[in-house]
Amino acid sequence: MTRWPIPDPMRRALELAREAAEDGEVPIGAVVTRYGKVIGEGRNAPRAAHDPTAHAEIAAIRAAAATLGDERLTGCDLHVTLEPCAMCAGAIVHARIARLYYAAPDPKGGAVAHGARVFDHPQCLHRPEVYAGLGEGEAADLLRGFFRERR
């Protein structure tokens, strides 16, 4: 199996995931880029924010939209350490993210390749290109370690 180098935006997403874990949050990080430049980033913070919508993807999308001054993130890429849930997949659709890169699959809560498969529905208004597995080992190790410590 060929192992591809982890791109810089995914490396940053992994750093953000580690920061989330240090704060007791599920270790997920996300970065939005446009033309290769970071325009938004976020990490999981539902516990700290007392907000069930404070997922890494939502934070990164909000930051990118604020940077651009536009709710449409046309031409932007989202790098995230875990397969997005249904809520985050919906936000990706509404933001018009062009490409989604995620590291680890989430068979229980993911909604891109698993579960709801949001982008596959005929009612889906926008379908980003999806690339999985970049940094999968490191992201999966972070998640396993986080949950192992809590059991």
Per residue in 17-41, pLDDT tens?
999 999 999 999 999 999 999 999 9
Cβ within 8 Å of residue 30, ≥6 positions away: 13, 16, 41, 42, 43, 56, 57, 59, 60, 61, 78, 79, 80, 81
Q: What is the pLDDT of residues 119-144, one digit of tens each?
A: 999 999 999 999 999 999 999 999 99
Catalytic choice (57, 71, 136, 138): 57
Q: What is the pLDDT of residue 6?
A: 84
Considering the chain, what percentage of its residues have pLDDT values greater than 90?
93
Q: What is the pLDDT of residue 3?
A: 58
**Per-residue pLDDT at 145 exceeds 50:** yes
Q: Over the stretch 47-102, which tens digit does the pLDDT of each residue have?
A: 999 999 999 999 999 999 999 999 999 999 999 999 999 999 999 999 999 999 99
Q: Do residues 34 and 9 lie in contact, with contact meaning Cβ atoms separated by under 8 Å?
A: no
**What is the number of other CB atoms lying within 10 angstroms of the CB of residue 116?**
15
Nearest Cα to Cα of residue 96 among 64, 58, 126: 126
Q: What pLDDT score does 2 carry?
A: 45
Q: What is the pLDDT of residue 62?
A: 98
DSSP lists the bridge partners of residue 31 as 41, 79
| 112/21 Cα distance (integer angstroms) | 24
Is 83 annotated as catalytic? Answer: no
1: pLDDT strictly greater than 50: no
